Structure 1
Amino acid sequence: MLKKKLKKIKTEVYTLGQHISMSTHKARRVVDQIRGRSYEETLMILELMPYRACYPILKLVYSAAANANYNLDSNESNLVISKAQVSEGTATKKLKPRARGRSFTIKRPTCHITIVVKDISLDEYIEVDFLDSFRWSKKLKSKNKYTAMAYHDMYSNGGVWDKK
C-alpha cells in the first residue's frame, strides 16, 4: 500500500524596496489601502490616489507581479496583495550653513517597503506518493535556487522620484 503525503508548495513572492526617500507614515497611509486587494484593483487605486508615495509603491507592485509571473508562472488576474509593510530606514543627513559659522543638520527620513503577492489559483498543498516524494522535492528545489526578490534602491535608480 502506498502512503500519501501532503507537500507544501510555494505560492507567495515578494519585492523589497529599500531607501525610498519618504516618511514611513506617508507610505503607510497608502499601503494600508492596498493590503488584501487584488492586483488589478490595486493598480487602479494607486493610479488614482493623489499621494506622492503611490509612485514607488506602484513600481514595487509591478515588480512583484513580474516576479510571480517569472517564478510561479502565474496569471496577473489570480494575484492578491497578501502582505504589505513599511519599515523605517536610515535617515540621510545634510548640513545647512547658519549664521556666525554654525551648521544645522537636516534629516531626510527613508523607508523600506515590502510587498508580498500571493497566487490564489495555486493550492498550498499537493498530494504526493511516498515513493515519488524524492522526485517532487528535486523538481521543486531545482526550479529556481534564488527566490523571488528584487531590490529597488532609490540611489541606483536614477535619483529622486517626482514630487507632486
Structure 2
Amino acid sequence: MLLKKKKTEVRALGRHISVSADKARRVIDQIRGRSYEETLMILELMPYKACYPIFKLVYSAAANASYTMGSAEDNLIIIKAEVNEGTVVKKLKPRARGRSYAIKKATCHITIGVKDISLDIYEDISFYSLKKPRWKKPSMVDRDIYNSEVVWDKK
C-alpha cells in the first residue's frame, strides 16, 4: 500500500496592490515562517502603509484554510509569502507653461501561503498512477584503497 500526503496548504493572492514591491517586501520578510496569531500582532503594530493589505491577505488565507480544510487558526503557519512587481500606473500632471509631468505609481502582487501543521494525513494512491523512473541504476564501482585505480564490475 502506498501513501501520499494530503494537501495541507492554502493561499491567498492579492493583485494590483498600490504599494511598491520593495516596500511590501520589507514587511513580508518579517512575517515569513511565523504563526498566524503572531503575524496578525506584528502587522497591527508595524507603522508601514503595506501592512494593511498584507493583513487583509493573511486574514483571507486563514479564512480559506478554515473553509476548505476546516482547520483552526491556532494551527496555521505562514509558509509562503512572496511579492512580485505588478503593472505601473502612469498619470500626467499639468505643470507650468503648458507642460506635463509624468507620475508613475508602482503596484505589486502579493501571495500568502498558509499551512495547517495539524493535518499531516496520508491517503492511499494506486500503483498504476506512479510513473516509472527515467534513470537507470548505475553499475557498481569499487575503489581499491591500496591502489589508486578504479575496478569496474563486469556483468
Cα RMSD (Å) of the superposition? Answer: 1.9
What stretches of structure 1 of length at least 5 have no aligned partner?
A: 132-164
* Cα distance between partner residues in 1 of 2:40 and 2:57: 11
- Which residue number in structure 2 is paired with residue 8 of structure 1? 5
Instruction: Return the match for 1:69 from 66, 91, 96.
Output: 66
The answer to whether structure 1 residue 104 and structure 2 residue 86 are counterparts is no
- Which residue number in structure 2 is paired with residue 32 of structure 1? 29
What is the deviation of 1:101?
Answer: 1.9
Flag the structure with higher strand content. 2
* Runs of 4+ residues over 2 Å off in structure 1: 127-131
> Which one-letter code corresponds to 1:36 in the other structure?
G
* Cα distance between partner residues in 2 of 1:129 and 1:28: 39
Instruction: Return the match for 2:122 from 109, 122, 126.
Output: 126
Determine if contact 2:10/2:114 at 8 Å carries over to the other structure. Answer: yes
What stretches of structure 2 of length at least 5 have no aligned partner?
A: 128-155
TM-score where L is the length of structure 2: 0.78
Instruction: Return the match for 1:113 from 110, 113, 117.
Output: 110
Number of aligned pairs?
129
Please say which of residues 114-123 and 95-104 is displaced more in the overlay: 95-104
What is the deviation of 1:100?
Answer: 2.4
- Which residue number in structure 1 is paired with residue 44 of structure 2? 47
Determine if contact 2:79/2:113 at 8 Å carries over to the other structure. Answer: yes
1:104 to 1:12, Cα distance in 2 relative to 1, 3 A = same
Which one has more relative contact order, counting CA pairs under 8 Å at least 6 apart? Answer: 1
* Cα distance between partner residues in 2 of 1:114 and 1:127: 28
* Cα distance between partner residues in 1 of 2:125 and 2:112: 35
Return the index of the structure with the highest Cα Rg: 2
* Cα distance between partner residues in 2 of 1:86 and 1:129: 35
> Which one-letter code corresponds to 2:122 in the other structure?
I
- Which residue number in structure 1 is paired with residue 134 of structure 2? none
Deviations 1:69-111 (A, max 9, x none): 0001111000000010000000111101122222111000001
What is the deviation of 1:130?
Answer: 5.2
Determine if contact 2:78/2:115 at 8 Å carries over to the other structure. Answer: yes
What is the deviation of 1:50?
Answer: 1.0
What is the deviation of 1:8?
Answer: 2.5
Report SS of the residue matched to 2:87: coil
